[in-house]
Structure 1
Amino acid sequence: GEEMTGGRDKASILADGLESLFGAVFLDHGLDISRDIILAIFDDVIGKAGKLGAGLDWKTSLQELSSERELGPPQYQITSTGPDHDKEFTATAVVGGEDLGTGVGRSKKEAEQKAAALAWDVLNNRSGAESEAGEPDTSKSGEEPGTESA
């Protein structure tokens, strides 16, 4: 059934399972323990949410930042490889005529989100003057936004 169709990776199934787990913990142990568990799992995600802006997704946040910097809306160049039933998409986020990030995913949307995350990080780490000059701030590592070094 679901195992054969990739059910273990479907966001809706994973969300339902996690919601059930949280509900069971709440019923058995109460609010304080539930809160501790939820914060232990989602503390990093909650911290990143403020960085994503009102849209809470990288494409929207990149569009807001590029508009703020008067660079025009981001464009996405999409390519795909592989057979129709097993495609891999590559998206490049282009802002102000410059390729700022490339992402790969199983869907166009996933690839675009990954590209937008990298592009947002590049653009966000430039001052307004650097953005106009096209010179990135090289003082920060090239990690994807929200990832931490070990």
Structure 2
Amino acid sequence: MTRGREEGLGALQKRVGHGFADLALLRQALTHVSAAPARRDSYERLEFLGDRVLGLAVAHMLCEAFPDESEGELSRRLAALVRKETCAEVAEEWGVGPHMRLGEGEAQTGGRQKRALLGDICEAIIGAVFLDGGAVAAEEVVRGAFRARMAASGGADLRDAKTRLQEWAQARGLAAPRYLVMGRSGPDHAPSFEVAVEVKGFEPAPGAGASKRSAEQAAAAAFLAREAKDRI
């Protein structure tokens, strides 16, 4: 990998919330089978592992957060939180798209924006963190990415942090949240945006991502994790 790509992985690690001792695991988690020397070098095995790690970590979080709910209610929450679409949202917030290693055909057909593929990469990264740092490190990453989503209840949208923050503010008679771009770095093909969300009467919350949209989602999720923590 070039120096620029390595530096990009450093920024990605910060967004994920884990610094890899073995960076090869992160590279593998980002490698589609179309770009792998052999199938075992792709993200597929890490995705298999990460899917199980994610399920266990989220189940643990739900049991802590909702001690009075039935198994059926917990199962419905679990299914909503670990579904591929939710994982794809997390991958977008992490800004994995520019770092994905794809074969030419997959790249030309929009592989970096494919929801199923983004969801797979999210799970593969969680699996890579588990192998690199153990169960505690993996659960910390999952908590950082999924905790705010647990603030949603009932029919609320578990995927969209901006929508949930808007509803949170409205329920308290507050003005709509404001999103401010604080900075942009990186090359044109792999930008990184820093955004802050402001809600009157509260400290701003930061977020970062490979697009303004993903950075805004990350900021909204960070705000909810901080201000709604007493309810999740």
Tell me what 1:51 maps to: 152
Residues matched between the structures, number:
99
Shift of 1:10: 3.6
- Whole-Å separation in 2 of the counterparts to 1:16 and 1:75: 28
Contact 2:151 2:228 in 1 (8 A): no
Matched, 1:76 2:179: yes
Distance (Å, rounded) in 1 between the aligned partners of 2:150 and 2:225: 14
TM-score in terms of structure 1 length: 0.51
Q: Which has the larger radius of gyration?
A: 1
Alpha-carbon separation, structure 1, partners of 2:211 and 2:119: 22
Could you say which structure has the greater relative contact order, defined with CA pairs below 8 angstroms and 6 or more residues apart? 2
Give the structure 2 partner of residue 63 of structure 1.
166
Are the structure 2 counterparts of residues 69 and 123 from structure 1 closer, same or farther at C-alpha, using a change threshold of 3 Å?
A: farther
Structure 1 gap segments, 5+ residues each: 18-44, 128-144, 146-150
Q: CA deviation at 1:3?
A: 5.4
| SS of alignment partner, residue 193 of structure 2 | strand
Quote the residue 2:209 is aligned against. Answer: 105
Tell me, yes or no, if the aligned pair for 1:65 and 1:124 is still in contact at 8 Å. Answer: no
Shift in CA distance, 118/106, structure 1 to aligned 2, threshold 3 Å: same
State whether residues 104 and 114 of structure 1, in contact with CA within 8 Å, keep that contact through their aligned partners in structure 2.
yes
Structure having the higher helix fraction is 2
Aligned residue identity for 1:63:
Q
Q: What is the DSSP-based 3-state SS (H/G/I as helix, E as strand, rest coil) of the residue aligned with 2:226?
A: helix
Alignment of 1:86 with 2:187, yes or no, is: no
Identity of aligned residues (%): 33
Q: When you count strand as a share of all residues, which structure comes out higher?
A: 1
Residues 1:121 and 1:15: Cα distance change in structure 2 (over 3 Å) = closer
Report the equivalent of 1:21: none
CA shift at 1:101, angstroms? 1.6
SS of the residue 2:175 aligns to: coil
> Structure 2 stretches of 5 or more lacking a match?
1-103, 121-145
> Tell me, what secondary structure is at the counterpart of 1:112?
helix
Measured after TM superposition, the shift of residue 90 of structure 1 is: 0.7
Deviations 1:123-143 (A, max 9, x none): 22369xxxxxxxxxxxxxxxx
TM-score (normalizing by structure 2): 0.35
